């Protein structure tokens, strides 16, 4: 393990950063275009969908890689779900609650804001298929949660897990559901979450993890990794505004799987990339909180679209890093410390 494992962490961190930045840039450009009425560069490319696709493949790989050597039984299952729950829900609860406050304040000052009602808060806070969540980006976490739910089978039978995962992928291809945010009722939301073609990306990530374990261990030079990123970006651009269709998951999804495989073995060190990778989840869930207000304020200062874009981008990167440094990381560290103390106490008393 040793050095190879360290390189794996680094390469995947860079890809996490790229995926989050793609989503952020898509939303900034969309907001600027909406406020200015000017078509922005990359307007015909759905960077957000490309970023989410990479996130899903990464998630499939990371979950399999992290737990492929775990044992079987209820203890491993509970430990897995506890980690996933603590990793996501406290932060979605915080961000969703902050959105409600902002939505109410916006109404006071005459700025219309979507969401802010109890249903959207509940859906976003606890990742439930009740109604449209705010911030809207939380819809992707519903797919993550469903994948985690299925992965629980892994701790009792790996074969059963792979059968279920493959059946899920086939069902997601064959059952027409539409785009996730088009769903409105709980029944529609549950259907599109359960059988969106985007779910196939998790299978690609898991298969990448299997290939990584089975193939001979070797490291990838950084130029190969960078060329892979450029080629994947170019192909993603060719797909235009295609979102989570069979075309994108069967083509761009494969590019993402190759990228993840390369990232898992790349010999490359870039501290800023690692930091942004660490802060990628914070970046993803916090940037919608800043988007509308920052755009309105910046347009009061300047009409230079490049200046507005750069100011918003840097602001969102800064807030994400601060959120990670002073909220996300300390909280997770505290939970791990408390958990170790509790386990130690149980051992002493048994």
Q: Say how far apart CA 345 and CA 19 lie, in whole Å.
A: 40
Task: Give the pLDDT mean for 117-131.
Answer: 94
* Domain housing 148: 3-349
Question: What residue has token string 């976003």?
Answer: 124
Residue with the larger pLDDT of the pair 287 and 345? 287
pLDDT tier at 323, thresholds 50, 70, 90: very high
Contact (Cβ atoms closer than 8 angstroms) between residue 168 and residue 200: no
pLDDT tier at 163, thresholds 50, 70, 90: very high
How many residues are given for the chain?
A: 350
Q: Say how far apart CA 149 and CA 171 lie, in whole Å.
A: 16
Residue 87 pLDDT exceeds 50? yes
pLDDT single digits (tens) 305-317: 999 999 999 999 9
Interacting residues of 306 by C-beta distance below 8 A, sequence separation 6+:
none
Task: Give the pLDDT mean for 199-225.
Answer: 94
Residue 350 pLDDT exceeds 60? no
Q: Say how far apart CA 118 and CA 100 lie, in whole Å.
A: 9
Task: Give the pLDDT mean for 97-126.
Answer: 86
Mean pLDDT rounded to a whole number for the chain: 91
> What pLDDT shows up at residue 205?
98
Residue 7 pLDDT exceeds 60? no
Q: Could you count the other beta carbons within 10 Å of the beta carbon of residue 210?
A: 14
Residue 5 pLDDT exceeds 70? no
Task: Give the pLDDT mean for 323-350.
Answer: 84
| Two tokens, residue 115 | 């969401």
For the CA atoms of 273, 43, 27, 251, the dihedral, rounded to the nearest 10 degrees, stands at -60
Q: Say how far apart CA 183 and CA 197 lie, in whole Å.
A: 15
In terms of Cβ atoms closer than 10 Å to its own Cβ (0-12, 13-18, 19+), residue 201 is buried
Question: Count of domains in the chain?
Answer: 1
| Two tokens, residue 338 | 């408390």
Contact (Cβ atoms closer than 8 angstroms) between residue 47 and residue 25: yes
pLDDT single digits (tens) 89-107: 999 999 999 999 988 887 7
Alpha helices per DSSP H over the chain:
3-36, 47-67, 74-108, 118-126, 139-151, 158-174, 186-195, 200-214, 222-238, 246-265, 271-278, 280-301, 305-323, 329-349
pLDDT tier at 349, thresholds 50, 70, 90: low
pLDDT single digits (tens) 43-63: 889 999 999 999 999 999 999
Residue 3 pLDDT exceeds 60? no
> What pLDDT shows up at residue 61?
97
> What pLDDT shows up at residue 125?
97
pLDDT tier at 6, thresholds 50, 70, 90: very low
Q: Which of 36-45, 172-181, 295-304 has the largest mean confidence? A: 295-304
């Amino acid at each position: 393990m040793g050095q190879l494992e360290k390189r794996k962490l680094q390469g995947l961190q860079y890809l996490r950063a790229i995926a989050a930045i793609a989503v952020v840039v898509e939303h900034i450009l969309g907001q600027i275009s909406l406020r200015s009425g000017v078509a922005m560069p990359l307007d015909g490319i759905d960077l957000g969908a490309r970023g989410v696709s990479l996130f899903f493949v990464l998630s499939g790989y990371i979950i399999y890689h992290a737990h492929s050597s775990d044992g079987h039984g209820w203890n491993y299952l509970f430990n897995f779900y506890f980690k996933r729950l603590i990793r996501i829900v406290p932060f979605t609860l915080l961000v969703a609650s902050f959105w409600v406050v902002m939505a109410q304040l916006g109404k006071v000052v005459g700025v219309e804001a979507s969401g802010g009602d109890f249903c959207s808060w509940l859906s976003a806070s606890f990742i439930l298929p009740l109604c449209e969540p705010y911030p809207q980006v939380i819809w992707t976490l519903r797919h993550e949660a469903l994948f985690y739910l299925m992965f629980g089978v892994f701790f009792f039978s790996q074969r059963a897990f792979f059968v279920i995962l493959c059946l899920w992928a086939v069902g997601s291809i064959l059952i027409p559901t539409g785009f996730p945010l088009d769903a409105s009722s709980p029944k529609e939301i549950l259907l599109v979450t359960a059988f969106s073609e985007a779910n196939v990306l998790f299978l690609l990530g898991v298969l990448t993890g299997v290939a990584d374990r089975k193939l001979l261990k070797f490291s990838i030079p950084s130029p190969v990794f960078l060329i892979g990123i450029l080629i994947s970006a170019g192909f993603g651009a060719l797909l235009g505004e295609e979102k989570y269709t069979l075309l994108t998951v069967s083509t761009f999804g494969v590019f993402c799987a190759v990228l993840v495989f390369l990232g898992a073995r790349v010999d490359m060190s870039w501290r800023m990339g690692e930091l942004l990778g660490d802060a990628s989840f914070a970046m993803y869930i916090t940037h919608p909180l800043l988007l509308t207000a920052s755009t309105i304020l910046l347009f009061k200062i300047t009409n230079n679209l490049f200046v507005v874009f750069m100011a918003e981008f840097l602001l969102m990167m800064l807030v994400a890093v601060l959120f990670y440094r002073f909220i996300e990381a300390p909280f997770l560290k505290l939970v791990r410390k408390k958990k170790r103390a509790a386990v130690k106490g149980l051992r002493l008393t048994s």
